[in-house]
Each structure stands twice: as C-alpha cells, then as structure tokens.
C-alpha cells in the first residue's frame, strides 16, 4: 500500500524567535513536494509561536517530548494537553538523547507513547542502536526490544510513525548507507507484521533518522521501506527543503 512520505525536523535545543521565523517562512514560501508530509519540532518554549507562523496545512508542529500525566506537581515537564492547547498535533518520544542522556527506559517511553495516543496526539517513536550494539550484531534485537515495550501497551499503531535512528550515525560523521537503512527498516516492518499483522505493518511509516541531508537524501529514493526522514541539524538550514523534495 502507498505510505505518504514524511519528513520530520527536530530542532533539538536550538533556535530563537528570529531563526524559527526564518525556518517557517522558508517552508511557507517554498515549493514543497505535495506528496510529502512535514512535521517540525521546535523547543517547547516556541511551540505556540511556531504554530502561529505556519501557513500551510502541509506542515504540522510537534513537541520534542511529553510527560505521562495530564497535570500536577511535575516541575519542568510538558503535558499532552498543553501541547494540544497550542494546536501542535505531534510529539516525538523515545529519542536516543532522551534514552541516553536522561535515562528514559523502554517501559517509560512506552507509557508516554500510550498516554499521548490516548490523549489524541500523533507520535513519532524513535528507536535505534548504539555503535557498540551495532558492532555486537544486535541491531535488530535492540530495535525489537524497544518496539516490544510499546507493543505491550499499544495495539493500534495508526497514529504512530517509527523513526529508526542509528545512534552511531548521528553527528559522528559516520552514516548508514541506503542499503543499511533499507535492510534494518525491512526487518522492523517484518517484526511489526509478526505482532500486529501484515496490513498494519504495511501501513506504518518508518523514517530514517541518521544524519540525512540535502545531498544524501535522494540516494534513499528507491528504498521500499524508507518512508521519510527524521532530520536533526539539517532541519535548521535551507537544505531542509531539499530533503522534503528529495522524492521528486
């Protein structure tokens, strides 16, 4: 079945009102591939501002994180209801930096995914292996472990997009080849099919999140299981438009 190409831009802890305005205005005025969905994730302090700037329905706004409670004494956290209140529609959960720097476990990520979905947000679920895990030959085992935690809590994956991040290829100068990505994505889809059924697995989009840029994005064009990109640093630059249009 046809899966709509999706390009996500994770600004991480970067940006100001000035720079975010420049990024969004570029998207508003660029000729974007109409067959590509775009989701941008600014820092939480700029969610409301970013939503107010977006003028094209092709571009949606995502939070970079959310907690698993609706409100309460959780200093420093951001709630799903607050994300929805400013009209953002997505949340990115399970990013490798949340797992490694902030100690988020597979089970904790899964609880957050379920809460966000139950509350009406769409979720980009990031999974992926470190360099040590890749060298040990356990890439698929790591991905399946991270997916299983969510599968244990969520059966309807229609509002989940999986973002495969080879952690070893993020900001290191190393990069997975399109063939590497396709092999891993195909294994992810096969695993999802074994748990959810082939139809649901075929409908689930799997993004590549390993340092895609304007130059290498077109080389993934013919990879059947690469349904888009989750972009980091390149989403802050003009080449983000080139990535969005890489299927043309």
For residue 48, how many other CB atoms are within 10 A of its CB? 17
Nearest to 120 by CA among 152, 85, 71: 85
Of 37, 60, 95, 185, the catalytic one is 95
Alpha-carbon distance values, 35 to 57, 92, 173, 248 (Å): 12, 22, 30, 9
Asked if 209 contacts 175 with a C-beta cutoff of 8 angstroms, the reply is no
Of 189, 135, 195, nearest to 166 by C-alpha is 135
Q: Would residue 95 show up in a list of annotated catalytic residues for this protein?
A: yes
Domains defined for the chain, CATH in brackets: 5-244 (3.20.20.70)
Dump the DSSP string for 121-153. -EEEEEE---HHHHHTT-HHHHHHHHHHHHHTT
CA distance 137 to 133: 6
What does the pLDDT read at residue 58? 96
The DSSP code for 96 is H
Give dist(CA 199, CA 150) in Å, integer: 18
How far is 185 from 207, CA to CA, in rounded Å? 8
Q: Are 7 and 38 in contact (CB under 8 A)?
A: yes
Burial degree of 12 (CB within 10 A; 0-12, 13-18, 19+): middle
Residue-by-residue pLDDT tens, the chain, 248 positions = 589 999 999 999 999 999 999 999 999 999 999 999 999 999 999 999 999 999 999 999 999 999 999 999 999 999 999 999 999 999 999 999 999 999 999 999 999 999 999 999 999 999 999 988 988 999 999 999 999 999 999 999 999 999 999 988 776 767 688 999 999 999 999 999 999 999 999 999 999 998 789 999 999 999 999 999 999 999 999 999 999 999 98
Taking Cα atoms as reference points, which of 44, 31, 147, 33 lies closest to residue 91? 44
Which residue has tokens 């309807």? 156
Judge whether 185 counts as a catalytic residue: no
The pLDDT score that the predictor gives to residue 239 is 97
> What pLDDT score was predicted for residue 127?
98
Q: Beta-carbon neighbour count of residue 56 at 10 Å?
A: 13
Catalytic residue among 37, 97, 129, 165: 165
């Amino acid at each position: 079945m046809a899966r709509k190409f999706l390009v996500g831009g994770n600004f991480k802890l970067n940006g100001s009102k000035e720079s975010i305005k420049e990024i969004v205005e570029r998207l508003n005025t660029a000729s974007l591939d109409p067959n590509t969905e775009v989701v941008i994730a600014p820092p939480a302090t700029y969610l409301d501002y970013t939503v107010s700037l977006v003028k094209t329905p092709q571009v949606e706004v995502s939070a970079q994180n959310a907690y698993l409670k609706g409100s309460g004494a959780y200093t420093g956290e951001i709630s799903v209801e607050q994300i929805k209140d400013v009209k953002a529609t997505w949340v990115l959960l399970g990013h490798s930096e949340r797992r490694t720097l902030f100690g988020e476990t597979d089970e904790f990520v899964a609880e957050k995914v379920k809460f966000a979905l139950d509350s009406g947000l769409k979720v980009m679920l990031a999974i992926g292996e470190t360099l040590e895990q890749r060298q040990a030959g356990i890439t698929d085992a790591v991905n399946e472990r991270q997916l299983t935690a969510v599968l244990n809590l969520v059966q309807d994956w229609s509002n989940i997009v999986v973002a495969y991040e080879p952690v070893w290829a993020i900001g290191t100068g190393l990069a997975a080849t399109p063939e590497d990505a396709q092999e891993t994505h195909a294994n992810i889809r096969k695993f999802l099919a074994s748990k959810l059924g082939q139809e649901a697995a075929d409908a689930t989009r799997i993004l590549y999140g390993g340092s895609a840029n304007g130059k290498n994005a077109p080389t993934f064009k013919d990879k059947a299981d690469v349904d888009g990109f989750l972009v980091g640093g390149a989403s802050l630059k003009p080449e983000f438009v080139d990535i969005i249009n890489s299927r043309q």
